[in-house]
Amino acid sequence: MRDISTQHQQIYQALREQLISGQFTPGTNVNARSLSQTMDVGLMPMRGAITRLVGERALEVQRNGRFCVPALTRHRFDELMQARQQLEPLCAMRALPFMTAETLEEMEACDRRVNQSYQTGDAEAYMRENYHFHFTLYRSGASEVLLPLLESVWMQFGPFMRSVFTMDEKSDIVDKHQMALDAIRRDDAQALGIAIQADIADAVHLLKQTLGDAEPTTSGL
């Protein structure tokens, strides 16, 4: 039983990472048997991990009983971005008193990899490193309530981001990650919150470039 529980957790974490980094696109069918064969794991713990992700709204059950990544809709995008706007600045500011030199160094390394992947057009690496940059900060606060909520939002946001985000058009947007790092060095919680919120606004701007007429209408950004 312990081995099955451990394997279930490992599979769950692997699927989470794949959702966050956009390896699944909206509307993609998720077949437990196929995934268990691909990952060389048991079918039972795979089904358990998928069921857990359904409960977290990262996956959904279709009428035919199959699992899939939720479809891309403007309304869903708006809600996810609004949730990010509310939760992330708060998580960042709560984490600031717990920041260490090692954590700051790790975030700086993440940001360098973010910039490198952006320049080379590696969308998967960009999303993975961007996630690690943000959550290295947020996890420093050790929130028992806000952090799980935010992780769920990012699992739902990842597939959407990957489906519409292209690296073909580079932007001259000011690097808000550097603004956040500077605020951390100054121990300025308000500036840190503003930098994180501005970073989210930049994400909406970049997404609008790819969406064209179907661009989302998130208010307040």
Q: Distance (Å, rounded) from C-alpha 183 to C-alpha 193?
A: 9
User: What pLDDT score does 217 carry?
Assistant: 43
Q: How many CB atoms lie within 10 A of CB 100?
A: 9
Q: What is the mean pLDDT of residues 85-112?
A: 96
The pLDDT mean for the chain works out to 85
Q: Distance (Å, rounded) from C-alpha 72 to C-alpha 77?
A: 7
Q: Provide the 3-class DSSP secondary structure of residue 60.
A: strand
Q: Is the model's pLDDT at 221 over the cut of 90?
A: no
Assigned token pair, 192: 């840190």
Assigned token pair, 63: 């009428």
Assigned token pair, 211: 């969406």
Q: Please, which pLDDT band fits residue 213 given cuts at 50, 70 and 90? A: very low
**Beta carbons of 69 and 159 less than 8 angstroms apart:** yes
What pLDDT, in 10s, does the model give residues 117-173? 888 888 888 888 999 999 999 999 988 899 989 988 998 888 877 765 554 545 555
Please state the domain extents for the chain.
2-68, 74-214
Domain 74-214 superfamily per CATH: GntR ligand-binding domain-like (1.20.120.530)
Assigned token pair, 22: 């956009």
User: What pLDDT score does 11 carry?
Assistant: 93
Helix (H) or strand (E) holding 96: none
Give whole-number Cα distances, 181 to 127, 184, 187, 205, in Å. 19, 5, 10, 21
- CATH no. for 2-68: 1.10.10.10
* C-alpha count within 13 angstroms, C-beta hemisphere, residue 193: 12
What pLDDT, in 10s, does the model give residues 167-208? 454 555 568 999 999 999 999 999 999 999 999 988 777 666
What pLDDT, in 10s, does the model give residues 2-40? 466 788 889 999 999 889 888 888 888 999 999 999 999
Q: Please, which pLDDT band fits residue 76 given cuts at 50, 70 and 90? A: confident
What pLDDT, in 10s, does the model give residues 66-75? 899 988 777 8
Q: Distance (Å, rounded) from C-alpha 19 to C-alpha 67?
A: 14
User: What pLDDT score does 22 carry?
Assistant: 81
User: What pLDDT score does 215 carry?
Assistant: 46
Q: Is the model's pLDDT at 62 over the cut of 60?
A: yes
Domains 2-68 and 74-214 share a fold: no
User: What pLDDT score does 60 carry?
Assistant: 92
Q: Distance (Å, rounded) from C-alpha 61 to C-alpha 32?
A: 12
User: What pLDDT score does 216 carry?
Assistant: 44
pTM equals 0.82
